[in-house]
Amino acid sequence: MDFTLPSDLQEIQTTIRNFVLNVVEPRAHEIEESNSIPPELIKQAAGLGLFGLSIPEEYGGVGLSTLGRCAAYEALGQGHMGFGGMVSAHASIGTSGLVRLGNDAQKAKYLPGMAAGEIIAGFAITEPTSGSDAANIRTKATLHGDQWVLNGTKHYISNAPIAGLLTVIAITDASKGSKGMSAFLVPMDTPGVRVGKIDEKMGQKGSLSAEVIFDEAALPEGSLLGPQDLGYREALSILTNGRVGIAARSTGAMQRLLDLCIVHAKAREQFGKPIAEFQAVQFMLAEMEIDIQTSRLLWQKVAWMVDAGQDVRRMASVAKYHATEALSRVADKAVQVAGGMGYMKEYPIERFYRDQRLLRIYEGTSEIQKVIIAGDLLR
């Protein structure tokens, strides 16, 4: 059993880590103030292949395995979390459905532009009446001739304000309940599709989310993604596989926070010596390292399971729950180690402290992860 990442994945991690630390992070305050990602950073990210991590090489992507993508996400997690959230929402749940379920025509039409960062993608399932209760969606798609007409409202949709394409889950047969939902590829320039209120979030600035309204939106022929009336099942599968990516990003964020704390603890002196010499500080650093190592092992195992074709429903929830809860603990300890400086906006720890809180909510709350884990154990 070898836990060492292959050399090519280590190189990818190094490249991405250098990019987020040396190129993105110096512009963090700009992103925070403007709540937007500078276009040149998006262009540079596209040049590194970040938007094509899960897209096959034949369509211009990098074509990484799940293990490879998650290794990239861990490196991405060490930088600005809003930037990382924007990229991962596209490269993970925004892209994976099309890659897995799309026909040749759909893939040829969209994937090259998505891999190049010219088409930013998102995934739309959440509605005002359905968050954790994903089966309670009310957006409907009705077949009129050879077109599907979409009506309804989604909200908290990541990347919606900048997206060119959304994968949308809608009801196609209300009599079947959750078994009567389908997935659709919806170009954002479709008449009847508009972005509503852009969300003002506590953190993750630059990773924009918004309400999306569908008003008699007639979808182009060939918009149905995958089998009709199996959208809910496919949506759960997309979210399940996306959770391991969140675990990896959380691990990267923890690593960055620990690195910042070690530098600070060695440099900061109190009572005539560096605070790194105080056992209370040492214990917090040790606990942070324990959370990092266990989270890393979990995401690596689940990514390996996905690539091996195994059922990861329970273990993906284990990895996401553990890593996001661990990140909250690590972020809190980081503020404590840094003291007053950790509470100041000019220091990255304050930003990570705000940004990490969302990870315990989206793509399934911590409570939903426990429901999934327990349900699988008791089946």
CA distance 103 to 232: 19
pLDDT of residue 232: 78
Band (pLDDT 50/70/90 cuts) for residue 131 is confident
pLDDT of residue 261: 98
The pLDDT tens digits of the residues spanning 305-352 come to 999 999 999 999 999 999 999 999 999 999 999 999 999 999 999 999
Q: Is the pLDDT of residue 368 over 80?
A: yes
The active-site residue out of 216, 277, 363, 367 is 363
Q: Is the pLDDT of residue 13 over 80?
A: yes
Give the burial class of 39: count Cβ atoms within 10 A of its Cβ; 0-12 exposed, 13-18 middle, 19 or more buried: exposed
Band (pLDDT 50/70/90 cuts) for residue 238 is confident
Is 363 part of the annotated catalytic residue set? Answer: yes
Stated pTM of the model: 0.95
Band (pLDDT 50/70/90 cuts) for residue 210 is very high
Residues 40-59, mean pLDDT to the nearest whole number: 97
Q: Is the pLDDT of residue 137 over 80?
A: yes
